[in-house]
Structure 1
Amino acid sequence: MDRPPLIGVTTYLTEARWGAAWTLPAALLPAAYPRHVQSAGGLAVMLPPDDPATAAAVVERLDGLVLAGGEDLDPALYGQQPHPRAGDPVPERDRWELALLAAALDRDLPVLGICRGMQLMNVHAGGTLVQHLPDRVGHDGHNPQVGVFTGHAVTPSAGVLAGDVLDGATPVATHHHQGVDRLGDGLIATAAAEDGTIEAVEFTCHRFALGVQWHPEMGDDLRVIKALVAAARSGAARSTVAAG
């Protein structure tokens, strides 16, 4: 494959202010995400929320998909009432990203879920979330200060994708107050924090469908995103051969 693989990255949908006076609804993304993809040799394209019916057509044009972090998922998606500390959901984003994920898995397109993205992968598979992690683990070490990333170590399992990519305990950047509770069908937990919080999940029947609870884009460790880009490049090359 001569060209860099095209990696779609989902976006926030929120009100934003810029310039002298503009405050408008905006589809936006922290610049760290596209820079991370670019640093790993991919081409980054933003995927703002759209009609879920268009998701398959969008995915057909991609070589890989990143489900970015962001707002809490609507707990109604996994049959729960909102916790008092849960954030306001963004239904347009939830519906769009669930449709993108379904289309990507259907095509066996390489997928990386980051933070919210990992949680979305679990909910898509029928799993549930811990809506406020300090209630479960007894501390706020995964998100001690709102708006500030903190660090802790994650330990991957051996013989799985996360273990192959990370090769041992790894310090990561974290900022989340929710996490995976009951695993969805077809998923396995493949990394954990010291307190037992699930830090990575994988779909077992797909060649690259990895979710990580941390934010690799906020550090210099490119191993996770390079693995996604490599899988995207390999898949695109196979598609080109098949089409020829």
Structure 2
Amino acid sequence: MGSNGSKVPLIGITSYLEQARFGLWDLPSAVLMRSYLDCIVAAGGMPVMLPPVGRWLPEHVSRLDGLVLSGGADIDPSRYGQSPHAATGTLRLERDMSEFGLYHLALEADIPVLGVCRGLQLINIASGGTLHQHVPEVAGSDTHNPSPGVYGTNEIKLAPGSVVAGLVGEHTTVHCHHHQAIDQLGSGLSAVGWAQDGTVEAIELPEASFVVAVQWHPEENGTDVRLFQGLVQAAIRRKSQ
């Protein structure tokens, strides 16, 4: 029946650890945009939030059927041998430590993974790749990140035959909010999607059963949950083995 004893796959999703206001409180909290959770449910999975606290062990990760590495803060540039750029945001070292550990454990267990924005960058760094720390200096525009809290719109071209193209087609319009992007591609990864300015917008790990990551925010695409469906279907296939 699978790792969680149900036909509905349990999809872990990483969360933020931030000061947050809710109800009567203004406290440090584990939080996540609801749109991620709704997309997982709409795709046929059951989400469980994974806070960046404590140390993840194989027995924890083995209970998951799939993993979403969500968006968020810039990753510590020392992880890819660089010093912070002037535009690099406030780092979340707890989150970095937690999520790199989670990703490596998921890889070892061949648990399907979907990376979103920061998640793509984390997968690239974990594979030995590097980032452009401020895309406007490379692309010459703010297309990918118009202003705080505002998504840009980009036209993306996907490689024919790639997993991502199989899910969303060879051309798609997406919502972006990132000021960093892949520079050197990590070992074993394939770049399979690009914005019009050449920015890498999608990657895959061919040696894994399902490791897909996009630089855009599919959780903001309304009722289009095809990438999440790809993850859930990969999780169902794994559970049936």
- Give TM-score scaled by structure 1 length: 0.94
Q: Which moved more, 1:89-98 or 1:156-165?
A: 156-165
2:39 equivalent to 1:18:
no
Superimposed CA distance per residue, residues 45-91 of structure 1 (whole angstroms, 9 cap, x where no aligned partner): 00001233x24222100000000000000111111010111111111
Counting aligned pairs with the same residue, the percent is 46
Deviation, structure 1 residue 207: 1.1
State the partner residue of 1:3.
Answer: 7
**Residue aligned with 1:81, SS:** coil
Matched-pair contact (CA < 8 Å) for 1:129–1:181: yes
Cα distance in 2 for partners of 1:159, 1:33 equals: 26
Q: Shift in Å at residue 115 of structure 1?
A: 0.1
Does 2:228 align with 1:225?
yes
- Structure 1 position 16, deviation (Å): 1.0
Q: Which residue of 1 is the match for residue 174 of structure 2?
A: 172
**Superposition misfits of 4+ residues, deviation over 4 angstroms:** none
Aligned to 2:145: 143
Q: Which amino acid aligns with 2:20?
A: A
Unaligned runs of 5+ in 2: none
Q: CA deviation at 1:3?
A: 2.0
Q: Secondary structure at the match of 1:185?
A: coil
Trace 1:114-153 onto structure 2 (pairs within 5 A). 114-153=116-155
Tell whether 2:240 aligns with 1:237: yes
Amino acid at match of 1:13: L
For structure 1, list consecutive stretches of 5 or more residues without a partner in the other structure: 239-244
Q: 2:79 aligns with which of 77, 80, 83?
A: 77
Task: Show the counterpart of 2:66.
Answer: 64
Q: Residues of 2 paired with 1:55 and 1:203: CA distance?
A: 23
CA separation in 2, counterparts of 1:178 and 1:222? 24
Which amino acid in 1 is paired with 2:167?
A: V
Range with bigger deviation, 7-16 or 150-159? 150-159
Distance 1:155 1:224 in 2: 15
Question: Does residue 113 of structure 1 match 2:115?
Answer: yes
Question: What one-letter code is carried by the residue in structure 1 that aligns with 2:186?
Answer: G
Q: What is the Cα deviation at residue 24 of structure 1?
A: 1.2
Name the CA distance, whole Å, in 2 between partners of 1:153 and 1:55: 39
Q: Distance in 2 between matches of 1:61 and 1:144?
A: 39
Q: Structure 1 residues 193 and 15, CA, compared in 2 at 3 Å: closer, same or farther?
A: same
Contact 1:55 1:96 in 2 (8 A): no
Tell me the equivalent position of 1:242: none
Alignment partners' CA distance in 1, 2:9 and 2:134: 37
Q: Distance in 2 between matches of 1:190 and 1:29?
A: 28
Q: Closer, same or farther in 2 for the Cα pair 1:56/1:50, shift >3 Å?
A: farther
Deviation (angstroms), 1:123: 0.5
The aligned residue for residue 41 of structure 1 is 44
Determine which of 207, 210, 214 is the counterpart of 2:209: 207
Higher mean Cα deviation, 29-38 or 155-164?
155-164
The alignment covers a number of residue pairs equal to 236
Question: Any conservation in 2 of the 1:104–1:111 contact (CA below 8 Å)?
Answer: yes
Equivalent residues of 1:127, 1:181 under 8 A apart: yes
Aligned-pair CA distance for 1:168: 1.6
Question: Counterpart of 2:17 in structure 1: which amino acid?
Answer: L
Is the contact between residue 4 and residue 41 of structure 1 (CA under 8 Å) also seen in structure 2? Answer: yes
Match of 2:119, SS state, is helix
- Verify: 1:96 aligned to 2:60, yes or no: no
Letter in 2 for 1:31: R
Superposed CA deviations along residues 85-142 of structure 1, whole A, max 9, x for unmatched, are 1111111100100000000011111000000000000000010011000000100000
